[in-house]
Amino acid sequence: MLSANNINRKSWIEYEPNSDFPIQNIPFGVFKTKDNEFHIATIIGETIISLKNLEKDGFLNNLNLDENTFQGKSLNRFLKQKKSVWRSVRNKVADLFDLENKESELKIKQGNILFENNKIEMVIPIQIGDYTDFYSSKDHATNVGKMFRDPENALLPNWLHIPVGYHGRSSSIVISGTPVKRPKGQILPKESNQPIFSESRLLDFELEMGFITGQGNKLGDPIDINNAEDHIFGLCLFNDWSARDIQKWEYVPLGPFLGKSFNSSMSPWIVTLDALEQFKVPGEKQIPEVLDYLKFKGDKNYDINLEVLIKSEKSKPTTVSKSNFKHMYWNMRQQLAHHTVNGCNINAGDMMASGTISGPEKGSFGSMLEISWRGTQPVQMPDGSERKFILNGDTVRLSGFASKPGAPRIGFGAVDGKVVG
């Protein structure tokens, strides 16, 4: 039962009506204090709630939690438990902070449980074991195919049959706010057949979302698509920074390498699938018909509004894209089913990125490669400068939220990254 999702519930913690984090959200993250003490946490409005201390003080008893679930530095111990346990914790937290629960309000305010947002530092909430990046937006794949291949046959022959992906580097995934060092590598200058060693001149963002896995599967045992939701804990915003010139020179024949592995940025709060339940929508009809192991029933895409802002050191933020997660051709269940169909085992805390999220219109493209159409259509900035790709000093911000009439907004906050030389 999803009692935490009750749209009529109010909290004794006050927050703005359009907050990303109403009491119906209850996302999960990790912060550290100035004394370097780590807390697994949730958030309502702008108030950070220590699940570590809620557990210590006995507020989370009788939920079938493993002992000391929230006493570590990451969510991984929680992720390994059953979906029913994740759900019971969200429901319990919602009950504790319900406006009508005066008894818990009094007790919680007497403890060391509530923290101000500006007095803590958010950190990576999970210990990421493995990271896979998919390529699942048909609009994005079509745009790239038109630019670099035959516009009449933009999609490669396999694209409509499998959720294409590659294995990336989990070690270089960083939390929002971490500076992005411009990468160096081999590039092939125009009008040359010899590469040079250089800083990337074509640094790009990619608007993505990442899903975090919960309970894994044994090696050799695929995850059935009908059970995939039991293995997906929740979603975050994800910026898959990309060095297009390094990527172009290296990616044949084995795919992305140094053009991707230097940095990926994630938002600090993981929003559960349960919190997003009412925002499920149909995806695009898949033609040709997919193979049996990729077939699913019901609505499996999510209506999540996404925005990308670029701010230079001399100008106000400029919106360069407004897109939506619902545009994805391949959904998360299909991605996970395909990832494991060969028997590959996933573990609690793995990161699976969606791939660049582009919509059908120009204003909804999810990368500068598309927005500037390979640099031929620069974006004009308020200070009179222009952007074909991302320059040093630029801050890129991705944000996202789900909303519908009569329901509280469920948001993700933002993920920021400033490029430095």
Annotated catalytic residues are 140
Exposure b/e, 356-393, CB count within 10 A at least 16 = b: bbbbeeeebbbbbbbbbbbeeeebebeeeeebbbbbee
Neighbour-count burial of 8, counting CB atoms closer than 10 A to its CB (0-12 exposed, 13-18 middle, 19+ buried): exposed
Angle at alpha carbon of residue 182, lines to 418 and 258, rounded to 5° = 125
Helix, strand or coil for residue 315?
A: coil
Tokens for 180, please give them: 């992005």
At CA 249, angle to CA 165 and CA 310, rounded to 5? Answer: 70
Rounded-to-integer distance, Cα 249 and Cα 56, Å: 53
Query: What are the CA-CA distances from residue 130 to residues 57, 64, 118, 170, 219 (Å)?
Result: 34, 28, 31, 6, 15
Across-strand partners of 208? 238
Amino acid (1-letter code) at residue 9: R
Q: Residue 379: beta bridge partners?
A: 387
Task: Report which of 89, 103, 95, 86 is spatially closest to residue 51, judged by C-alpha positions.
Answer: 89
Contact 182, 419 (CB under 8 A): yes
By C-alpha distance, which of 168, 134, 130, 129 is closest to 338?
Answer: 134
Q: Six-digit token pair at 151? A: 């516009």
DSSP secondary structure string, 103-145? HHHHHHHHTT-EEEGGGSEEE--S----EEEE---HHHHHHHH
